[in-house]
A and B are shown apart, each in its own frame.
Chain A
Amino acid sequence: AQSVTQLDSHVSVSEGTPVLLRCNYSSSYSPSLFWYVQHPNKGLQLLLKYTSAATLVKGINGFEAEFKKSETSFHLTKPSAHMSDAAEYFCVVSLAGSSYKLIFGSGTRLLVRP
């Protein structure tokens, strides 16, 4: 069965320090992978996506993620956290083949301390 696991429900960092949000997936097929961000009381917004091109994907607001097939991981990073990065982040997998389902991770809430 296909699944997405976000390894941390909460991550707390100080402003200006690096951010690492971890995501592992399980898929029998070549997946498309996404990171979405949800600010309080807002809908979800795409940060970046991987669709079998370059394994290092750059997104908006300085975020990037690296697809590692051997580790089945797609971790999200940012070199320097900003207060405005405080939000909930979702790792999402879309399956190749005929399935049109999207599978969301349970989310990681990022807290940024001043």
Chain B
Amino acid sequence: EAQVTQNPRYLITVTGKKLTVTCSQNMNHEYMSWYRQDPGLGLRQIYYSMNVEVTDKGDVPEGYKVSRKEKRNFPLILESPSPNQTSLYFCASSYGAKNIQYFGAGTRLSVL
């Protein structure tokens, strides 16, 4: 089954404690991206990757890092989380930005 898998689905952490949210897709997609969803703001793109070892900033990259060492995986790293990063995060993949995006189920993060 074609899918984008995010883990964990829910995470509560404290300020400053490094965390990683994993994202994996099984569709051999080149393009992957991370979004955060906040009430009234829709989804905002954090980072995207056009292929292995090729990443670029989206609209709200501050406080986040990503890597794309393998085509299927695109982890999101918060080196020192802060409360303003409390949000719902989505990973997505596609054959290209103009193609259909396939979304993961989301990761709800709370930073205390």
- Chain A interface residues toward B at CB < 8 A: 6, 9, 32, 34, 36, 41-46, 49, 51, 90, 94-96, 99-107
Contact = CB atoms under 8 A, between A and B. Distances in A.
A100 B41 CA distance: 20
Interface string B42-67: 11110010100000101100000000
Interface centre among B33, B41, B98, B104 (most CB of A within 10 A): B98
28 contacts: A9-B40, A32-B98, A34-B100, A36-B101, A36-B103, A42-B105, A43-B103, A43-B105, A44-B43, A44-B90, A44-B92, A44-B103, A45-B103, A51-B98, A90-B42, A94-B97, A99-B97, A100-B31, A100-B50, A100-B96, A101-B45, A101-B48, A101-B97, A102-B97, A102-B101, A103-B59, A106-B41, A107-B42
Lowest 9 A-B CB distances belong to which pairs?
Answer: A43-B103, A100-B97, A104-B42, A104-B43, A106-B42, A32-B98, A44-B103, A94-B98, A43-B105
Contacts of A32: 98
Contacts, number: 61
Interface of B: 4, 31, 33, 35, 40-45, 48, 50, 56, 58-59, 90, 92, 96-98, 100-101, 103-106
Nearest to A33: B98
A96 B96 CA distance: 11
A104 B104 contact: no
